[in-house]
């Protein structure tokens, strides 16, 4: 489409539609590119809201460069960006079925075939990111969108550049998805690697099948249960699914099932046609 060739964009190119996510994503609008009729999402960031100076603008530019070069069916596209004196505009892919966590709340929990398809797509997106040495760090239903053909669209929310405010957000946000190596106070910033995404994928798999996170509790108890990988998997979860969850929610990051092995796991193979 028109948006694929690197071009300069400006606000006049777009017919602005309804707000998306009502402030959840900041100011994001459904828009139509006038000439091509292409539907996408326009995210408006106010420069005043981004910490000024100290190279944050450079950091932002770097993040946008990284994201603009990502091409994967299960990663939300960043088609381009432009800015005016006060604002930065991001031209983003529009995910037709919206936020995954809303679909999950509506269905309360997903049937195993659907959960397995979503997990396989997540593993594929993570393989792509990890090959580029990008750790997502923040995998949870709130950060996942769904396309019109039920395809997973992993989105931003703090990739690559580890902005300090992101860490604060993590502290006040839910702990549910954080792996043990990130909640231990000493080693918060230095000793974790891409295997943190494997733990979070295990939490996500559990939540898809059970309808709530495995360590959901009071903050103090969640902290303690994560540190011990203390969870119970209800009897209605199939043996294969249980096996995969237990191979991802492992305290030692090096013992977690690798992404390639997830794609070959019996539970995934049973529900996903190869190379779908």
Ligand X SMILES: COc1ccc(C(=O)Nc2ccccc2)cc1NC(=O)CCSCc1cnc2[nH]ccc2c1
Catalytic residue positions, numbered: 138
Element (H, E) at 83: strand 78-83
Residue nearest to ligand X (CB): 156
Q: Closer CB to ligand X, residue 98 or residue 253?
A: 98
Three-class SS state of 134: coil
Element (H, E) at 153: strand 152-154
Minimum CB separation of residue 211 from ligand X in Å reads: 22
Q: Which residues contact 72 (CB under 8 A, 6 or more apart)?
A: 124, 125, 128
Q: Closer CB to ligand X, residue 58 or residue 228?
A: 58
Which DSSP category does 26 fall into?
B
φ, ψ (nearest 5 deg) of residue 267: -65, -40
Q: Closer CB to ligand X, residue 25 or residue 192?
A: 25
Minimum CB separation of residue 75 from ligand X in Å reads: 7
Minimum CB separation of residue 16 from ligand X in Å reads: 14
Residue ranges that bind ligand X, judged by CB under 6 A? 20-21, 25, 28, 41, 43, 45, 50, 60, 63-64, 67, 76, 78, 90, 92, 94-95, 98, 145, 155-156
Whether 197 contacts 130, CB under 8 Å: yes
Place of tokens 């936020």: 99
Minimum CB separation of residue 122 from ligand X in Å reads: 15
Whether 119 contacts 268, CB under 8 Å: yes
φ, ψ (nearest 5 deg) of residue 91: -100, 110
Could you give the CA distance from residue 250 to residue 81 in angstroms, rounded to a whole number?
Answer: 40
Length of the chain: 276
Minimum CB separation of residue 100 from ligand X in Å reads: 10
Could you give the CA distance from residue 142 to residue 218 in angstroms, rounded to a whole number?
Answer: 20
Could you give the CA distance from residue 198 to residue 247 in angstroms, rounded to a whole number?
Answer: 10
Q: Closer CB to ligand X, residue 85 or residue 235?
A: 85
Which residues, in sequence order, are bridge partners of residue 224?
Answer: none
Q: Taking the alpha carbons of 175, 181, 184, 188 in that order, is the dihedral positive or negative?
A: negative
Q: Closer CB to ligand X, residue 103 or residue 226?
A: 103
Q: Closer CB to ligand X, residue 132 or residue 228?
A: 132
């Amino acid at each position: 489409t028109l948006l694929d060739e690197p071009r300069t964009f400006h606000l006049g190119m777009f017919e602005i539609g309804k707000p998306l996510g009502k402030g959840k994503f900041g100011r994001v609008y459904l828009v139509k590119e006038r000439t091509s009729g292409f539907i996408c999402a326009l995210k408006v960031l106010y420069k005043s809201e981004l910490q000024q100076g100290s190279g944050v603008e450079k950091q932002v530019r770097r993040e946008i460069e990284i994201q603009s070069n990502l091409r994967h069916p299960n990663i939300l596209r960043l088609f381009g960006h432009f800015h005016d004196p006060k604002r930065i505009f991001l031209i983003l892919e529009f995910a037709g079925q919206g936020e995954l966590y809303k679909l999950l709340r509506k269905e309360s929990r997903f049937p195993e075939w659907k959960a397995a398809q979503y997990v396989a797509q997540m593993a594929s997106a993570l393989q792509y990111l990890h090959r580029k040495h990008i750790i997502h760090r923040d995998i949870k239903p709130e950060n996942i969108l769904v396309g019109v053909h039920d395809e997973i669209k992993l989105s931003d929310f703090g990739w690559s550049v580890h902005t300090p405010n992101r860490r604060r957000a993590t502290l006040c946000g839910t702990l549910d998805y954080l792996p043990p190596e990130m909640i231990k106070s000493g080693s918060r910033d230095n000793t974790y690697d891409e295997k943190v995404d494997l733990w979070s994928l295990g939490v996500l798999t559990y939540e898809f099948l059970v309808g709530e996170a495995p360590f959901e509790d009071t903050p103090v108890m969640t902290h303690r249960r994560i540190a011990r990988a203390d969870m119970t998997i209800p009897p209605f979860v199939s043996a294969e699914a249980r096996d995969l969850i237990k191979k991802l929610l492992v305290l030692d990051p090096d013992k977690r099932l690798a992404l390639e092995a997830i794609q070959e796991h019996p539970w995934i193979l049973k529900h996903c046609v190869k190379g779908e």
